[in-house]
Chain A
């Protein structure tokens, strides 16, 4: 049984409310930080812990915090990124709706460490019901003196608000999120300046994922060294994995980093194997943006070592034979799955979610979707597969924000590992049965038959 830091009390009845949460040791990190530590000491503990951003990029959190500019007289802000929109990812939703106080507590401790007196939780609009859950938890925290003026008599003030988005994947990119929080379209900003220098309203700002901020609680409670002792190598601590697709037991699992992928998929403690007794075909291990891997490469690295659930092991082999930890959105596909069709759903997603600011992404995602549609519809040629490859190459690295890469990588990986399947579609055009339905599904005018 792996160690649980975030979901330790997940099954305690009433953990959603303040009283039970407090009984289970809740808000101890706030007491410890505010009463016995100075802000820099908290930052040091987070640095020691080796905690890496849990939203997808995996950037060391302590380092991100230490970049925060501290000009005199300019307020600083902490913004929690709860825009969770990466297909295959639903861990933040789980955490916020089950244990909302853990996020509130993490926000208070982290805001103290950064010297922020007003903090925001930016949550995707589709999670509107969680806004209510969080606001209730925040109201309880105010009522018990954990938020507001002069917290615990220490002179530290903090206000915490929930900000709701409007349904845009791109707002999970931190500068687009800040634009959105300022009441604008979610167009990512050109960096530098980074948010640590000029963020929300041009003030120094740190943006962290929900899970990252929640992880600060056990780090402060038990010390950074204790957190770093869990996991493997530079992948320290625990990670929430959202498991979905053709699994017997999909859901959110907290794992110790370094767990073998095979154990995660097949053991009864976790996903319990592939449903209906079928064979595993492929896995997208870290949310839709990361490269898909066929069974043999997700279970073992190219060198034949067992693949582990860690930043390093998942990335072993680069993009040729490896993938990325990403957000921990783990999508498993059985042997009935059409990789081409699955890729189409991803590419349609990125086309829909492209903000339109950079031409390579705006035009490229649309083009890739069209080409895939053509192939799926039985009208593709072998040249189209090469065209897809060219298209993704011409998006990658040519956009302001990483949505370009996120759209390009799945296409590249699907062709890299499953090229024969694309060719199969082209050579044996099994036309889908109801073309009209297909057009309607995509809001296109009726085709001339």
Chain B
């Protein structure tokens, strides 16, 4: 199991560092801590989909804040993974509207199809299955999110096609991905 990144391999690409500078410039002098959430998103997307301690320390150094200020924030927000995840993190909404229209069946099917339980990662490191609370897609329920892409009006068949497509593509999905927009 991947226990974490080593200090040496952690440095943003030049492109990302440029973006980091732009983000910090959005806030008044001395308020660079405001850039923390955007930077954590950037770091998670660039360093294998999760935030290891060395990655968080790196972000702290970029913002000249204490590491604990990063840890306490990263552990508060649902979207930041503090453990390694598969290339495709499947986040299935389970709140009211999605539940009313069959989210439980979708979750059961995913567990069966992937051979894992909620919270686990497939052996090949391809998929991690997670249940989440309302993602604001209630009118197109049931839904799941993978990377930045919403997959809506789900049926068992749609889920199967999606899994096949994701597997064929084999790429890591991140929240920063460009997405294709169907309805909205």
Contacts and interface: CB of A to CB of B under 8 A. Distances in A.
Given A87-B95, A242-B138, A129 B149 contact: yes
Contact of B175 (A98, A128, A331, A348): A128
A161 B26 contact: yes
A167 B77 contact: yes
Given A182-B31, A201-B28, A169 B138 contact: no
Interface stretch (B10-18, B82-90, B127-135, B156-164): B127-135
A251 interface: yes
Contact of A242 (B41, B139, B177, B179): B139
B124 interface: no
A447 interface: no
B184 to A, nearest CB: 4
Interface residues of A, number: 66
A94 B176 CA distance: 19
Contacts of A87: 95-97, 133-134, 138
A250 B140 contact: yes
A90 B150 CA distance: 13
Contact of B139 (A90, A132, A349): A90
A252 interface: yes
A245 interface: yes
Given A129-B179, A284-B96, A90 B133 contact: no
B34 interface: yes
A93 interface: yes
Interface size class of B (residues with CB under 8 A): 35 or more
Interface stretch (A150-158, A183-191, A385-393): A183-191
B137 A90 contact: yes
A15 B19 CA distance: 29
A245 B135 CA distance: 15
B133 A349 contact: yes
Interface in B20-51: 26, 28, 31, 33-38, 40-41
A161 B132 CA distance: 28
B118 A124 contact: no
Given A126-B135, A252-B139, A349-B134, A185 B100 contact: no
Interface in A337-370: 337, 341-342, 345-346, 348-349, 352-353, 355
Given A128-B176, A183-B33, A437-B111, 8 more contacts: A89-B138, A92-B136, A161-B26, A166-B79, A182-B34, A183-B73, A244-B141, A251-B139
Interface of B: 26, 28, 31, 33-38, 40-41, 63, 65, 69, 72-73, 76-80, 94-97, 99-101, 104, 107-108, 111, 117-119, 131-141, 145, 148-150, 175-179, 181, 184
14 contacts: A85-B134, A87-B95, A87-B134, A88-B134, A128-B176, A129-B150, A166-B77, A182-B34, A184-B33, A244-B141, A284-B96, A331-B96, A342-B96, A349-B96
